[in-house]
Amino acid sequence: MTARLTARDLTLRYGDRVVSTHLSLDVPDGAFTAVVGPNACGKSTLLRALVRLLRPDTGEVRLDGRQVGGYATKALAKQLGFLPQDPLAPDDIKVRQLVGRGRFPHQSLLALWSRQDEDAVAEAMAAAGVEDLADRPVRELSGGQRQRVWMAMVLAQETPCLLLDEPTSFLDITHQYQLLGLLAELRDAGRTVIAVLHDINQACRFADHLIAMKDGRVVAEGAPGTIVDAALIKDVFDLSSVIIPDPVTGTPMVVPTLEGE
Ligand SMILES: Nc1ncnc2c1ncn2[C@@H]1O[C@H](COP(=O)(O)OP(=O)(O)O)[C@@H](O)[C@H]1O
Ligand SMILES: [Mg+2]
């Protein structure tokens, strides 16, 4: 396994609140990595550190061997596309404009909006299924529509590496599977995907590499089929379960048991 994006021995905190210490991981190139773990265990904090929105107290995040802090903003944004958990749209912006913002690393003060930008935006809107919303104000959209618009913005950025914080949380089940299928296609086309997912069964279905976190630590990582068992689910989520093969894919499927049974 090779990894362009790596974290070593990170201490991550907000003021006095320490979220992670000694956190290390590699994001495997060309693979779909899912990060799972209970609420508040530090998943978003990890992603924010990887895209240098949060500066580690100690330790290093590197891309291609170079600390992310040393990159120019556009140079980094050409490599890493990030979908935050709660992105905030500027007032009154329309869908097409917001998706167009994803093109910023590819533009300069001198260059006009190009045909290439136009094509990237159109392609991203089609992939995220938001073409019909192009002229709607973002703030008028439903949570799920808005989430797909943000996804389109990240796609328009055309980065080899995508970091997505709960990209499916507002989507109905059909759109969840569409989006996960799209991420798998991007992976098949050679992109690196790392996504925080809440549905452990979806994570097991789609991810090549699973990172299970608890209390700011990586508890287990590897192929879902090799690391997911009842003991891990108990440890990470404090949930009793039986693990059966997913009837469609054969990947691990977590079925919670009722308390006391
Ligand atoms: N901006 C912030 N300021 C202070 N504490 C924060 C901030 N963001 C997150 N936290 C705290 O850091 C911990 C980890 O949060 P987060 O990484 O968002 O968890 P997760 O994404 O796994 O649910 C939580 O205890 C949360 O309350
Ligand atoms: Mg989070």
pLDDT digits (tens, 9 = 90+) for 210-238: 999 999 999 999 999 999 999 999 999 99
Q: What are phi and psi of 257, to 5 degrees?
A: -95, 160
Q: Quick one: which of 158, 131, 156, 159 has its CA closest to 145?
A: 131
The pTM (predicted TM-score) of the whole model is: 0.96
Distance 126 CA to ligand 1 centre (A): 33
Domain limits at 97? 88-158
Question: For each of the chain's 261 residues, which pLDDT tens digit applies?
Answer: 899 999 999 999 999 999 999 999 999 999 999 999 999 999 999 999 999 999 999 999 999 999 999 999 999 999 999 999 999 998 899 999 999 999 999 987 777 888 999 999 999 999 999 999 999 999 999 999 999 999 999 999 999 999 999 999 999 999 999 999 999 999 999 999 999 999 999 999 999 999 999 999 999 999 999 999 999 999 999 999 999 999 999 999 999 997 655
134 lies in the same domain as 209:
no
> Same domain, yes or no, for 2 and 99?
no
Task: Kindly state whether residues 95 and 71 are assigned to the same domain.
Answer: no
13, 18, 45: which to mutate for ligand 1, most atoms within 8 A of CB? 45
User: Which among 124, 158, 192 is the end of a domain?
Assistant: 158
Together in a domain, 96 and 223? no
Residues 68 and 185 in one domain: yes
117 lies in the same domain as 230:
no
Do 9 and 137 belong to one domain?
Answer: no
Distances (CA, A) of 46 to 20, 41, 195: 8, 10, 11
CA-to-CA distance for 21 and 46, rounded, in angstroms? Answer: 11
The CATH number linked to 250 is 3.40.50.300
Does residue 44 have its Cβ closer than 6 Å to ligand 1?
yes
